[in-house]
Each structure stands twice: as structure tokens, then as C-alpha cells.
Amino acid sequence: MKCRYCKAEIPEGELYCKKCGREVQIVPDYNPLEEMLTAQIQLDGNEQESELDQYINQKRRNNNRTGQSAGRNTGRSASRTTAAMTGRRMTGNTTGQMLTEKERRKRQSAKAARKKALRRKRRIVLLIMAAIVVLAGAGFYVVYQNSYNGIMKKAQKAAQSKDYTTAEAYYKQAISKNTKKADAYTGLADVYLLQDKADEGTTLFEEAVSKQSGNVELYKACMDFYLKSDQNMEIPELLDSVNDSMLEKLSDYVVDEPKFSLEDSTTYDDVQKLLLTADKDTIYYTTDGTDPDLTSTKYTSEGIQISEGETTIKAIAVNKKGVPSAIGKKTYTVEFPVEDAPAVSPSTGQYDEAVPIEVKVPDGYTAYYTTDGTDPTTASTKYTGPIDMPKGETLFKVVLVNGKGRMSGITTRNYMYDNQ
């Protein structure tokens, strides 16, 4: 290891440099700030060291002159010369020891001064760094408060405090800051809902998606709003306006229409049973031609009976999230075979006594008749039982009408009744 001051080699285990006398510095993990301060202190120490070296060198020169003066004293005896020389060596040693002690004390004093200066500079640097951190933090806070995330946080806090006016203002500011992020639209629409202003939320999203037809997250947010505001049936209509690429990205909101077991391209002559199927989805339907929703009749496995006449079935499938499919529609026609013209007795003829006129009416039919020769309709006299044959000539006509208003052929009888 080398001394960091004079660069001399220091044996392992030594705590002081034998060349310059400075304390061995155990170097901690590298710290750029510490390195900068140490370099400054070293510069100051080198200046102080120069003064110390000058003092020591001066002392040594003075000692050398004193020894030389004592050597020139030739009048003394050899023994005294030897004693004197011995004394001078002792004096020199004592002086060297004194110089070494003074040097050590002065070095210790210089070291203490350096440490004090280092501590003072450290405090100054730490204060400067603290001030920089505070200013940077303040700057960051100001920037954050005016950023999209900062504005959103203030909007959410205002909404939680039920300060809806302030929340609206912040959400609108966030939208103007970044028109593409969907969460600001969601936040503003939710605030509208909390104030029973769902129409404003609907308008907000409709205008946004019309301007950003490729923003998938915005479309998802819009459909989530429809679900929250009980406008489920708006979802299929919205999806109907997007292209196939967008439909793939919005697949969680796409529900297939129910499948119908009967085709509507033919006319049926009997009552039919219609079955509807949808993959794990709930089906709702109507039979009166109105559009179904989540309040319509819920389909069961018993199916739907299609009776005589024309019946329009409309149905939707709804997934677990409440997202409905587009409306499936089919119109069915069932026409029962119409009975032939009704059987009437007695047959046409001349009678000398009153014979009751009887009409055979099948189940599901009603008979209507006339006795003046006109064709019967549902406005004519309703047949309820045997009719007394009128006197004179009677042209009797009768028709059958089923429950759907379909009429059979007309049966005609010509009676002549004369009781004389």
C-alpha cells in the first residue's frame, strides 16, 4: 500500500507513513464527493507541509553549525575531546528527539486542522446538496401537479369528496392534456352519472369515439359506460359501426346472435315449436315484433310455440357481463287447412211442414248465415243452433270462420215451405 500524500510504500500493518509521518488512511468505498473534498484538503496540507519542512531544515542546519564549532576546539585533551564528542552526540540525539516530538505535535495539529476544515467543507456541501434536493423536489412537485397524472389525482380526490363541480373541471383539464387516454373520459362520465346526468356522459363518449375511430381503449371505456348506465342495447349498435379489425380487438364485447331452429321461408300448416340456442349466454325474446332487451321474456328450454297466423320472433343473447348481441329476427306463418263448405240439412226442396235447418260446425269454427240470398260474413247472423224454416221461399247461405278469421266455402240451400 502507498501513502496517499507522499506515495511512499507502507508496510502492511503500519498506521503511520515512515517518510512523511502522516496517518495511514483506510480508503472506504469510492465516493466522488469525498474524493473532491480530499483533493482540496491535500492541496491545503501541502502548503502547510512546505512551511513545516522549512522549519525542520532550518533547525537541522543550526545543529550542524553547533557541532562543527565544537570540533574546532583543539586546545582540549583527547579524553575531553572524546567526552565532548560523546556529549555532542548525546546533545544531538536529545535535540533530534526534541525536533521529532515537535514535528509530531505540529503534524498532529495540522491533521486536526485538516479534519476540521474537511468537516466544515462537508457541512457546506451537504447544505448545498440539501438545498438542491429541496429545490428539485419542489420543481418536480410543481411539474407533477400540472401533469396528466397529477391532474387526474386531483380530479379523483375531488370526486371522492363529492365536489363534483371541481372534479368535472379537473377531468376536462386532463382530457385537454391528453385526448387519447380513456381513464379521464371514464372519470368524467362517472361524475355525470353520480349527478344523474347520464345523457352528458353518453354525448361525451359518442363525440370522442367519432373522432378517434381507432382508439380501442376509448371504445372499451364507452361500452363499459353503457353497461353502468343501463344502456346495454347501445353496445351492438356501436359495434356495428366499426371495421373487422376493430371487432377482433373488441372481441370481449362481441356476442353472437341466438340461433333459430326453424326457417321462416315456408308456411307451416300446423302449430310449431321454435328452439333458440346461444353458447352459454342468456336469451331474451319477444313475439309481438318489439325489440327485446334485458327486461323481455327470458327463454327456457321448453321453446316457443308458434300458433296459427303470422308471428314475429325477435331475440338477443346476453353474456355474463351483460353485453347483448345484435337482434335476431324471424317471422313465421302458420295456416291451418280450411274446412270445406259446411254441411247443412235439410237439402234444397219444397216442404209442407217446418223442418229445422241445422249446420254442422267443426271445433274451432263459427258459422254465420243469411236468409236473403246475400253472401254471409262475420257481420252476418251467428249460427247458435237449429233454425226454424221460414214460410215461403228462402235462400239460405252459411259459411264457417276459424279463429284466425279464415273463411270456408259457402253452402247454399233453397227452401220452399207452404203449410196449406
**Cα(268)–Cα(333) distance, integer angstroms:** 6
Q: Which residues pair with 407 in a beta bridge?
A: 401
Asked if the domains 148-253 and 344-417 are classified in one and the same CATH topology, the answer is no
Helix (H, G, I), strand (E, B) or coil at 97: helix
Chain centre to alpha carbon of residue 335: 54
In angstroms, the Cα distances linking 398 to 30, 85, 341, 353, 367 are 119, 173, 8, 22, 7
**What separation in angstroms does the CA of 94 have from each of 80, 88, 101, 130?**
20, 10, 10, 53
Say which range, 136-145, 307-316, 326-335, has the weakest mean pLDDT.
Answer: 136-145
Res 34: pLDDT:
54
Q: How far apart are CA 22 and CA 6, in angstroms?
A: 9
**Residues present in the chain in total:** 420
Distance of CA 333 to the CA centre of its chain: 48
| CATH assignment of 259-334, among 3.20.20.70, 3.40.50.150, 2.60.40.10, 3.40.50.10860 | 2.60.40.10
Contact 177, 200 (CB under 8 A): no
Helix (H, G, I), strand (E, B) or coil at 123: helix
148-253, what's its fold? Answer: 1.25.40
Angstrom distance (rounded) from CA 404 to CA 420: 46
**Which residue has cell 274446412?**
339
Grid cell in block for residue 57: 531544515
Tell me the percentage of the chain whose pLDDT exceeds 70: 80
pLDDT band, very low/low/confident/very high, at 73 (cuts 50, 70, 90): very low
Least reliable range by pLDDT among 47-61, 171-185, 296-310:
47-61
User: Which cell is 264 given?
Assistant: 321462416
What does the angle CA 323 – CA 265 – CA 290 come to, to the nearest 5 degrees?
40
Question: pLDDT (tens digit, 9 = 90+) per residue, 238-267?
Answer: 999 999 999 999 999 999 999 999 999 999
Give domain limits for the chain: 1-30, 32-144, 148-253, 259-334, 344-417
Q: Specify whether the CB–CB gap between 313 and 304 falls below 8 A.
A: yes
DSSP letters spanning 13-58: T-SB-TTT-PBPP---S--HHHHHHHHHHHHHHHHHHHHHHHHHHH
Report the distance separating Cα 398 and Cα 410, nearest Å: 6
DSSP-assigned beta bridge partners for residue 315: 285, 328
Residue type, 136: A
Residue 280 grid coordinates:
352459454
- Give 302: exposed, middle or buried? Use CB within 10 Å, 0-12, 13-18, 19+: exposed
pLDDT digits (tens, 9 = 90+) for 375-409: 999 999 999 999 999 999 999 999 999 887 889 99
Radius of gyration of the chain (CA): 58
Average pLDDT over residues 284-303: 95
Judged by DSSP in three states, 142 sits in helix
Q: How do residues 186-226 score in pLDDT, each as one tens digit?
A: 999 999 999 999 999 999 999 999 999 899 999 999 999 99
Mean pLDDT along residues 56-84: 49
CA distance 396 to 390: 10
The residue-averaged pLDDT of 59-80 equals 49
Whole-number Å distance between alpha carbons of 265 and 256:
22
CA dihedral defined by 142, 147, 150, 156, rounded to 10 degrees?
A: 140
- Are the C-beta atoms of 391 and 355 separated by less than 8 Å? no
Residue 172 binned pLDDT confidence (cut-offs 50, 70, 90): very high
Query: How many angstroms separate the CA atoms of 305 and 327, rounded?
Result: 20
Q: What is the CATH number of domain 344-417?
A: 2.60.40.10
Higher pLDDT, 299 or 96: 299
> Using an 8 Å Cβ cutoff, are 408 and 376 in contact?
no
Pairing assessment for the beta strands 328-334 and 411-417 based on DSSP bridges: unpaired
Of residues 208 and 122, the one with the higher pLDDT is 208
pLDDT confidence bin for 327, thresholds 50/70/90:
very high
Task: Report which secondary-structure segment, H or E, holds 213.
Answer: none
Q: Average pLDDT of the chain?
A: 83
pLDDT at 29 over 50: no
Report whether pLDDT(76) > 60: no
Average pLDDT over every residue of 333-351: 90
Of the candidates 274, 289, 281, the residue with the CA atom closest to the CA atom of residue 316: 281
| Residue 281 clears pLDDT 50, i.e. is over it | yes
For residue 53, give the amino acid letter: D
Burial of residue 11, with CB atoms counted within 10 A of its CB: 0-12 exposed, 13-18 middle, 19 or more buried? exposed
| Residue 156 exposure: Cα atoms within 13 Å on the Cβ side | 9
Stronger pLDDT, 127 or 55, i.e. the higher one: 127
Cell numbers that stand for 350 in this block: 219444397
Query: What's this model's pTM, rounded to 2 decimal places?
Result: 0.55
pLDDT at residue 72, rounded to an integer: 46
